[in-house]
Structure formats: structure tokens, C-alpha cells
Copies of this chain bind each other. A is one copy, B any other.
Amino acid sequence: MKIFEKVADVREFVTNAKRQGKVIGFVPTMGALHEGHLTLMREAKKQCDVVIVSIFVNPTQFGPNEDYAAYPRTWQQDLELCQSVGVDAVLHPDKDEMYPEDWGTWVEVEGLTGVLCGRSRPTHFRGVTTVVTKLFNIVQPDKAFFGQKDAQQVVVLMKMVRDLNMPLEIVVVPIVRDEDGLAKSSRNGYLTAEQRKAALVLRRALNRADVLARQGESNVDFIQSAVRACIELEPLADIDYVEAYTFPGLQPVTELQQKVLIAVAAKFGTTRLIDNIIIEPAGR
């Protein structure tokens, strides 16, 4: 497995692979790799000839009071995990390699970024779309793999790729969960045992939405309220949002007539977790 710290070096690797006609798969990550990331990498291995993983804790997607400095960095373990699933190359640039001193060009998606996580993290998606554009230009993948867990991120990136005519396909991979149902996240490690147990309420609440939809409930406000009520029963959960939007359009919705994303975010102590489910009208 190759390890690159410089953009120029990974570019050379990519150019050679492309010259040989290889299909390039790309999994951008911030490290602290878990089963969710590994699932993306395995899917990339299935669909592509060469798999490149980036490990870069991207400062521009963290707000001033967020956990950039504290974000878990587990470099040695990450490398071993990449190797274990057969990744071909890891790109691990430092901050200055990605953002030199006089850097300043942003990619911004309108319309989808002011809801859900974009409301409490107003500059987050601008940081994500910008760094992903940079990484796409560096790695030039044919396919890039993202997890459904960051549902809004997926929708925003798909719009960016379409709007800017980027020559690649975004592949979305379902949420990976621990046995107890908690969605895999690099931030789960912050949780105390008690908080972790409490956090299971998110999955329970989203399952409730699914059950209601399957039973024929089509009032989205009602479903949303039921999810909120379920989470409110957990005293350790501090709700950031419980929202419902059409998927993938992220438009407001009242009747369940198409795919609807129910997305939740809540804090357990200082740790903010997100989870989501996509529900459909009964009988589909």
C-alpha cells in the first residue's frame, strides 16, 4: 500500500493508473476509521480497480467552537485498517499542503445547506464541498464512495457534482451500525457508557417512523412528532433537530407521497450525534 503526503506524488500515481485504463475508486475520510469507512472501502474494491483513501481532518468544515483540535486522530490504526481491506494508496496531506497561506477559493452549494446540520453548523458544508472538490481534482476518481449516515452531505455533494459537471459518480452506501443499533461514528468514542446507552434512543425513534410509515401513516408532521417525542423520553438526549425533507431534493414536505428523509441530531453530553432513515409510502 502506497502512502502519499504530497499532492504531486499522488497525482503521479493517479496519472499512471489512468494511463493503464484502471477504474479509480475514492473514499475521502477524516481518519478515526471504523466499520462504516471499511464498508465504503470494500464497496470501492468491488467496483473499482484501484482504491485510494484520503485521511485528512479538514479544518474548513469545523466551526470555531467545534471539535477540530480534539477530533480523534488514530493514524497507525487507520493505516492497518486500510491495508486490511486491500486499499491501494492512502493520501495523508498536512494542513499546509491542502491550504497554503494565501489560499482562498470556495465551492458553495446553494439551497440545500441551510437546513438540518447546515443550520447549527453554518459554514460546515462550504468546508466539505470545498475540500471534496480539491480531493476530487487531486485523485480524479471515476467513483467516490460516501455513507448514507451523512445524508445531507450526500445530497449536497450529488448536487455539486451535477451542477459543476464533475466527471465522476457518487456511490452512496447504507448506514453501518453497531450490534446495539448505534450508527458507527468517529465521535462515538467520546461517549461515556451511560451516554452511549442513552444514544440508542436515536435509532429507536427512527425505527418508530419506519413502523408508522409501513402502517400507512402519511402525515409527515405526525411521524416527525412521534420521533421527537420518543427522543424526548431520554433525559440525556439534548435534541438539536428532528426534521423531515423530501429525499434527495431536501424540500419541505407534509404528506408522505415519495421518499422522505427523517434526520435527527442530538447531543449526549458534549458529543453531537446524527442519524437518519429514509421512509416511503406504505405499499411501495
Contacts and interface: CB of A to CB of B under 8 A. Distances in A.
A105 B107 contact: yes
Given A133-B164, A134-B164, A167-B140, A106 B103 contact: no
Contact of A165 (B106, B110, B137, B160): B137
A104 interface: yes
A104 B163 contact: yes
Interface string A114-143: 000000000000000110011001101000
A106 B19 CA distance: 31
Interface of A: 7, 11, 19, 21, 102-111, 129-130, 133-134, 137-138, 140, 159-160, 163-167
Contacts of A163: 103-105, 134
B164 A107 contact: yes
Contacts of A137: 164-167
A7 B11 CA distance: 26
Contact of A21 (B19, B108, B167): B19
Nearest to A129: B105
Contact of A107 (B11, B107, B111): B107
A208 B110 CA distance: 46
Contacts of A166: 137
Given A104-B163, A137-B165, A140-B167, 17 more contacts: A7-B165, A11-B167, A102-B111, A103-B163, A104-B111, A105-B108, A105-B163, A106-B108, A107-B164, A130-B164, A133-B164, A134-B163, A134-B165, A137-B164, A137-B166, A137-B167, A138-B167
Contact of A106 (B7, B104, B107): B107
Nearest to A15: B167
27 contacts: A11-B167, A19-B21, A103-B163, A104-B109, A104-B110, A104-B111, A104-B163, A105-B108, A105-B109, A105-B129, A105-B160, A105-B163, A105-B164, A106-B107, A106-B108, A106-B110, A107-B107, A107-B164, A133-B164, A134-B163, A134-B164, A134-B165, A137-B164, A137-B165, A137-B167, A138-B165, A138-B167
